[in-house]
Amino acid sequence: MHQLLTPADYRRMPWKNGGGCTVEIATEPPGAGTAAFVWRASVADIERDGPFSVFPGVDRTLVLLDGKGMRLTSDGGSLELRSAFDPVQFPGESALHCALVDGPTRDFNLMVRRDAACGDVVVVRGAGRAIGPARTLICFAATGASECLLAGYPPTPVPPGHALLVAAERGAAAPAVHVLPADASAVALVAVVRDPATAQ
């Protein structure tokens, strides 16, 4: 199954800690809340310093889309997001405080419940790239447009800010997707969700 998602399909959701809002691109199962998702892909605007929501049992991947970045600190150390399109991973149970470097940021966020799945974010820019197969693939056109090729189907254009969701049929893996950025400035973020047994 594959479906092109437009910004009109996304859901605006409050943060778990009430400190802001996130725009949910897709989640499994569809419409699941913060306590029930297997995975969730979203985009959030962070406008001020403050604590990150805590998600026990969830692995998170953040990718800076816009802004000067942030520093995430906890008792165990710190992480920095300073470079656009450079994924950073951390466990959701970490109690992190966010300090913005120089003004608001926009970030892509993949959250995966580790007892049910695993995931990462692949950055595609410049040359095209084949990704998968996997349980689910979410190709988000972060900057500019991209085109996705699936065997047996016509090419699917993915306009800026849109996403292509490719999900496995029951008992099978979602097919590989060949992602082609439209030009040298285009960047696609592909969230790859796998079953734990197939993690690499």
| Mean pLDDT value across residues 188-194 | 96
Whether pLDDT at 1 is above 80: yes
- Under CATH, domain 118-198 is a member of which superfamily? Jelly Rolls (2.60.120.10)
Q: How far is residue 52's CA from residue 50's CA, in Å, rounded to a whole number?
A: 7
Q: pLDDT per residue over 93-131, tens digit each? A: 888 889 999 889 999 999 999 999 999 999 999 889 999
Percent above pLDDT 90 for the chain = 62
Mean pLDDT, rounded, for 60-87? 89
The CA angle 74-80-86, to the nearest 5 degrees, is 135
Q: Do 7-113 and 118-198 agree at the fold level?
A: yes
Q: Which amino acid is at 171?
A: G
Q: Using 50, 70 and 90 to split pLDDT, how confident is the model at 132?
A: confident
Mean pLDDT, residues 44-63 taken together: 90
Strand pairing report for 163-167 and 136-143:
antiparallel
Is-above-0.95 flag for pTM? no
Output the CA torsion sign for 142, 144, 150, 155: positive
Residue closest to 13 by CA, chosen among 50, 44, 54: 44
Domain ranges of the chain: 7-113, 118-198
* Position 199 pLDDT exceeds 60: no
Q: Tell me how far apart the alpha carbons of residues 169 and 79 are, in angstroms, rounded to a whole number.
A: 37
Q: Tokens representing 179?
A: 């992602």
Domain 7-113, what architecture? Sandwich (2.60)
Residue 6 DSSP SS3: coil
Per the CB < 8 A criterion, the answer to whether 159 and 141 are in contact is yes
pLDDT at 198: 55
Q: Is 48 helix (H, G, I), strand (E, B) or coil?
A: coil
Give the pLDDT confidence of 154-171 residue by residue, as tens digits.
999 999 999 999 998 776
Digit-coded pLDDT (tens) for 39-49:
999 999 988 88
For residue range 13-37, list pLDDT tens digits in order: 877 766 678 999 999 998 888 888 9
Amino acid at 3: Q
Residues forming a β-bridge with 106? 45, 66
Which pLDDT belongs to residue 171? Answer: 67
- Amino acid identity of residue 195, one-letter, is D
Predicted pLDDT at 102: 86
The residues, ordered by sequence, that sit 6+ positions from 84 with a Cβ below 8 Å of its Cβ are 64, 65, 66
Q: How many residues does the chain have?
A: 200
Query: Which amino acid is present at 165?
Result: L
